[in-house]
Amino acid sequence: MSSSSSSYQQYGNPVLYTFVGFTLQPYWLIIAEMLFLQALQRINSLIGTSCKKQKKHVYIALEITILGPKRTGVAPLKYSVLDFFLSLVSVGHFVYSCYLQTKCSSAANANSWNCYNAFGYRLYNYVLPSVVSILVDSIVQLGNIKYVKWFLLGTSITLNSLVAMVFIPFFVSNVIPMLIIYSWILVVILVGLILLYAIVITSVVNAIRKCEGCGCIYCGKFFAAHCVVGLQVFGCLVFSMAFNYSQYSFYGGDFNSVPWYEYQSRDTVTWFHSLSNSSELLTHNLLAAF
């Protein structure tokens, strides 16, 4: 155990040390994962339209919904049974987290408050991104009435909405106070990441597509679409950061040191080492990718 790791564990929720673990996915890997998953979505659009002998494109569903089929010249892919089963991964991840939580009472330093925080820590760092992603994608699909299997989509929205409701108590008790106290850093991070991401994606994708005739309205809507994507991904990151801040602030961490403790918990080398030695952490990260 390095001194750098012990410095943040000293002021963290003691249950996390033996029950969940302080080590979290590095910031850069979260961004890389987001770009990789979006690339897969674009490849899926290209393969799907090629197989169905439709006009080939690399749009994602959100872009088609905001820009409109007339402006893009393509129709969104139909909501499929595969989409439905993939949407259930987040529900399964939540159930898995609940199962692991049943073991908290036997962990060292366990009590009701510590275990409550440990459960929120697990949910906000591992389950939240996939739940939000599924709900956003489902809402987007609602705009494609002709391409929706209503029973499957309705079931997906209902189940993931029920899971999302579990996050509310933790949002009130942990996230909101930290968002207020550390708004000076969290808001700057959120706005900066969203704008940087939207500008880069808008520039790169349209340059690859050679969108020479695209006007300001088209580029503006394309930019807005990726502000939504950025808000979805980086909003989840900021919420998880806020919750993590509470795990130090509520347990004696110095006001100015709390952001640094959270940053230390995302050390790349330590994360890879923990991943190779913990089946639970590996399962969480695999499920979170969906």
CB count in 10 Å sphere of residue 114 = 21
Mean pLDDT, the chain, rounded, equals 84
**What confidence score (pLDDT) does residue 21 get?**
73
- Domain of residue 163, residue span: 26-43+55-288
- pLDDT reading at 169 higher than 90: yes
Tokens of 239: 């919420």
- Residue of 290, 243, 244 whose CA lies nearest to 265: 244
With tokens 């993939």, the residue in question is 86
Which of 96-105, 140-149, 201-210, 257-266 has the least mean pLDDT? 140-149
Interatomic CA distance for residues 140 and 63, integer angstroms = 10
**Helices 279-288 & 128-142 angle (0-180, nearest 10):** 20
- pLDDT reading at 38 higher than 70: yes
Q: How many domains does the chain have?
A: 1
Confidence of residue 195 (pLDDT cuts 50, 70, 90): very high
- pLDDT reading at 210 higher than 70: no
187 within domain boundaries: yes
- Residue of 60, 39, 59, 57 whose CA lies nearest to 49: 57
CB count in 10 Å sphere of residue 275 = 15
Question: What are 238-280's pLDDT values in tens digits?
Answer: 999 999 999 999 998 889 999 999 998 888 888 888 888 878 8
**What confidence score (pLDDT) does residue 5 get?**
45
Residue burial 100-109, b: 16+ Cβ < 10 Å; e: rest = bbeebeebee
Amino acid letter for position 218: Y
**What confidence score (pLDDT) does residue 267 get?**
87
Helix (H, G, I), strand (E, B) or coil at 110: coil
CB count in 10 Å sphere of residue 176 = 13
**What confidence score (pLDDT) does residue 2 get?**
42
Q: Mean per-residue pLDDT for 194-214?
A: 79
Confidence (pTM): 0.86
49 within domain boundaries: no
Confidence of residue 9 (pLDDT cuts 50, 70, 90): low
72 within domain boundaries: yes
Better pLDDT: 164 or 268: 164
Confidence of residue 190 (pLDDT cuts 50, 70, 90): very high
H helices of 78-182, where? 81-87, 89-101, 112-122, 128-142, 150-170, 176-181
153 within domain boundaries: yes
81 within domain boundaries: yes
Q: Mean per-residue pLDDT for 13-29?
A: 81
12 within domain boundaries: no
14 within domain boundaries: no
8 within domain boundaries: no
